[in-house]
Amino acid sequence: MAEDPSIAGPRGRGPGSVTVFVYGDYVCPFSYIAAERLRRLQRDEPLTVHWRPFEIHPAVPAAGLAVREAGYPPDEWAGMASTLEGMAAELDLPFRLPDFVANSHQALQAAEFARDLGPDAFRGVQEALFRAYFVDGRNVGEREVLLDVTAGHLDREALEAALEDGRYEDELRRASAEAERYDVAGTPTFLFGRFKVVGAAPIEVLREAAAKARSEWGAGSGGSDAAAETRAGEAGEPEAG
């Protein structure tokens, strides 16, 4: 099954591979940027990525809220949009910050549903959710929108049944408790063994953290390489977390 960062060492799959746990959300623009940076880092780094759900706007209703209603001053939102557009441009990544804040609770459950189907399904749903919100400006907090966005990757009726019976609620609660245990307070947060990186860090910062984790493991001071009965590990290789 999956690895839990509490007992997993920095070694991932394959020789010299490093495991990184990423706490992110599909309505966090910095998580969207981080996902692409991790994908690029994986091109030349043996890296195993495990995305973990971290809901950043639990109080926002499914219908979403206008930026001002969500507590963001318009000038602050505009400044963040400008910063993010610059980051996205450097990656040739399509991006448009929506003018509303969405709730991600059901989207996070949909991703967990996809995780159970395997890494390809998870990767596809993750990319679809990010694109729907940060490129197409769709409200992934609304059930019908979510079902439509994920239709190319998931069986619509099966996903709707999973959302109705709340089968992934426990997993979201477990991930929340796990995040609290590791002092994760925002998204994205990366855990490379005992090395933590917070925010949409540049690729070189992520590379350095991976190197430190790999070096520590090689020196014999890393954590256990055991696996726990949690769900974190199957999220890997989206990479986009």
User: Is the pLDDT reported for residue 3 higher than 80?
Assistant: no
Contact 127, 240 (CB under 8 A): yes
Question: Minimum mean pLDDT among 86-90, 150-154, 205-209, 234-238: which range?
Answer: 234-238
Please state the separation of Cα 13 from the chain's center in Å. Answer: 20
User: What domains lie within the chain, and their CATH numbers?
Assistant: 18-235 (3.40.30.10)
| pLDDT per position as a tens digit, 58-74 | 999 999 999 999 999 99
Name the pTM for this structure.
0.85
Q: Is 237 a residue whose pLDDT tops 80?
A: no
| Nearest-angstrom CA–CA distance, 113 and 103 | 18
Q: Which of helix, strand or coil describes residue 197?
A: strand
Q: 9-13, 22-26, 100-104, 135-139: which range is least confident on average?
A: 9-13
Quickly list DSSP for 112-131: HHHHHH-HHHHHHHHHHHHH
Report the C-alpha gap between 83 and 130 in whole angstroms.
18
pLDDT at 89 over 80: yes
Q: Which of 42, 122, 83, 107 is nearest to 200 (CA)?
A: 83
pLDDT for residue 13 is more than 80: no
Question: 211 is written with which tokens?
Answer: 């190197």
